[in-house]
Each structure stands twice: as C-alpha cells, then as structure tokens.
C-alpha cells in the first residue's frame, strides 16, 4: 500500500512540474519572433509575428491576453525597421488594448506603459517617454506593484529618458 501511494505521489508531482513548466504554443511563437529580432533579422521577426497573429487571433479572438504584447512587439519591430508611422499607431494600439484587457489599475498595464517609454527612448522621443513613465508610476505606486524587477525597469527607463533629454538640450543649445 505504501508503495502504491509513493508512486502515486511521484506521478502527481511529475504531472504538476511538467504541466507548469510547459509553455503555450503562442509563447513559443512569440519567443521565436523575439529571437529573430535579437539576431537582427527584422523581416523574419515580423513574419513570425504575423504568423503568430494569424494563429492566435483566429483561435482566441481579436481581443485576447496576447493582443497588447502583439502590438507592442510590432511597434518595436517597426521602429527597428524604420517604419515610424507604423511604430506610433501600433504602440498606441498596444496601450489602448492593455488598458481595456488588463484594466487601467493593473500591474500589466503599468508594465506596458514602462515598455512604451523604453521604446520612445529608443526613438529619441524623451519627452513622450517621460509622460508614459509618469503614468506608469501613478499606476504602479497606487497598486503597490513597484517591486524590485519592475522598479529596476522603471528606473532604467527614467534614467535613459532624463539622460537623453539632457544630451538633446546640450546639443541644441550650442
């Protein structure tokens, strides 16, 4: 009897660990797109992201948990590819969808605002980045979400925005 319960316990633990470590196929598709982006292959990254959208949005619908991430990544890839107008519109869609799906006072929405600020820093739009960071700070502080990792991400984006503003002002004042 003890042997049976021991094996049952092992099987249950094995099932729980394999089930919790498994990623969904959509997360794997997003990781594949991000790997291509990091390798500098922006067209392949955008192609992988389009494949992700086709499958995920067909199965989960137009408004799903991946929608803000999709538009955020699309904005990032558009910025890297030089499509600035597409960058702005997709970033706006990412924030709007996050606000409606994740709710305005959630941690996910606050993190999306920080990510938007980081992308604006890459674009050189430091004033707009600061506006996103102010919104993110109010959301994250109000919910008590400003913990170690998020605080570090926020502080880094803020430092980049402030340094970029100071450098831009020095360049234009000469």
Which pLDDT score, from 0 to 100, does residue 19 have? 42
Model confidence at 1: pLDDT above 60: no
Which pLDDT score, from 0 to 100, does residue 165 have? 75
Segment 5-62, tens digit of pLDDT = 555 445 454 454 444 444 689 999 999 999 999 999 999 999 999 999 999 999 999 9
Which pLDDT score, from 0 to 100, does residue 18 have? 42
Residue 87's pLDDT band, with cuts at 50, 70 and 90, is: very high
Segment 152-162, tens digit of pLDDT = 999 999 999 99
Domains of the chain: 24-173 (1.25.40.10)
Tell me the DSSP string of the chain: -HHHHHHHHHHHHHHHHHHHHPPPHHHHHHHHHHHHHHTT-HHHHHHHHHHHHHHHHHHH-SSSTTHHHHHHHHHHHHHHHT-HHHHHHHHHHHHHHHHHHH-TTSHHHHHHHHHHHHHHHHHT-HHHHHHHHHHHHHHHHHHT---HHHHHHHHHHHHHHHHHHHHHHHHHH-
Which pLDDT score, from 0 to 100, does residue 11 have? 45
Pick 96 or 167 by higher pLDDT: 96
Model confidence at 74: pLDDT above 60: yes
Which pLDDT score, from 0 to 100, does residue 166 have? 65
Segment 99-148, tens digit of pLDDT = 999 999 999 999 999 999 999 999 999 999 999 999 999 999 999 999 99
**What's the rounded mean pLDDT across residues 85-108?**
94
């Amino acid at each position: 009897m003890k042997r049976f319960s021991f094996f049952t316990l092992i099987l249950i633990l094995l099932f729980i660990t394999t089930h919790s470590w498994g990623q969904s196929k959509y997360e794997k598709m997003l990781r594949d797109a991000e790997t291509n982006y990091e390798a500098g292959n922006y067209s392949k990254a955008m192609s992988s992201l389009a494949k992700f959208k086709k499958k995920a949005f067909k199965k989960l619908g137009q408004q799903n948990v991946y929608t803000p991430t999709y538009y955020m990544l699309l904005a990032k890839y558009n910025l890297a590819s030089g499509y600035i107008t597409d960058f702005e519109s997709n970033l706006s869609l990412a924030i709007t969808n996050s606000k409606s799906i994740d709710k305005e006072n959630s941690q996910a929405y606050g993190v999306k605002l920080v990510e938007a600020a980081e992308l604006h820093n890459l674009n050189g739009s430091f004033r707009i980045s600061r506006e996103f960071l102010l919104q993110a700070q109010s959301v994250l502080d109000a919910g008590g979400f400003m913990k170690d990792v998020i605080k570090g991400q926020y502080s880094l984006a803020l430092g980049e925005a402030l340094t970029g503003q100071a450098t831009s002002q020095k360049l234009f004042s000469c």
